[in-house]
Amino acid sequence: MTSFVPGTKLVIEEKVMINIGVLTSGRGTNLQAIIEAVKEGKIEGRISVAISDNRDAFALKRAKQNNIETKYINFKNFKNREDYDKKIVEYLKKKDVDLVVLAGYMRILGSYFIKMYKNRIMNIHPALLPSFPGLHAQRQAVEYGVKVSGCTVHFVDEGVDSGPIILQKAVEVKDDDTEELLAERILKEEHQIYPQAIQLFSQGRLIIKSRKVFIKKRSI
Ligand code: GRF
């Protein structure tokens, strides 16, 4: 059984602020939602760094506009995935990161990374896992003909989209939905539940027992 125990962190008005490290490869709308939630005090934490494998990721621009440190790490400069992951972990440790948030990060993390941040890496997936893991989840849902899909925030383990589930939100699939229309409606919900899950983590309220995540009630 594990839960995050806040350590010697910045304390503002008696609140422990966790350090969040975001890994991102693309447009960064989830990063933006997290940035807004931090600004509004809905997440007791701060984004210490946004790291990308893509120099041109729009997410990096969003981070810079919000005075968040950014780091581009080029995969091509490394022998293999483990060496690449080691570089990222080294950077996250340097920034004293407590929680790693994958926000549209297009690389699979290797076992070294997962071990170094066990139960401290989150991902968001645009389907109700365990349905439709992997790429093009919204397309998979439309093609399969499900009536309901949605999004899932989960901890990352060594499988693909297979880690313990933290929060899910259902979204109706309409008869005339395209992949794009469904993706747009799911994305709105992603922007709600990802910040919520991060806040639960920062409050130390996520308890993992084997593959189940329990949410502790708020202590008053
Ligand atoms: C989202 O659909 C998320 O569920 C998936 O990648 C996409 C990232 O979008 N993991 P954005 O970069 O946050 O806009």
Predicted confidence pLDDT, tens digits, the chain (220 residues): 555 555 445 555 555 799 999 999 999 999 999 999 999 999 999 999 999 999 999 999 999 999 999 999 999 999 999 999 999 999 999 999 999 999 999 999 999 999 999 999 999 999 999 999 999 999 999 999 999 999 999 999 999 999 999 999 999 999 999 999 999 999 999 999 999 999 999 999 999 999 999 999 987 6
Clarify whether 125 is annotated catalytic. Answer: yes
By most ligand atoms within 8 Å of CB, the mutation choice from 35, 60, 190 for ligand 1 is 190
Nearest residue to 139 (alpha-carbon basis) of 183, 107, 106, 104: 183
Nearest residue to 124 (alpha-carbon basis) of 195, 173, 41: 195
Ligand 1 mean position, distance from CA 207 (Å): 25
- With a CB cutoff of 8 Å and minimum separation 6, the contacts of 172 are 147, 148
Angle, helices 29-39 vs 58-65, to 10°: value is 20
Ligand 1 close to Cβ of residue 104 (< 6 A): yes
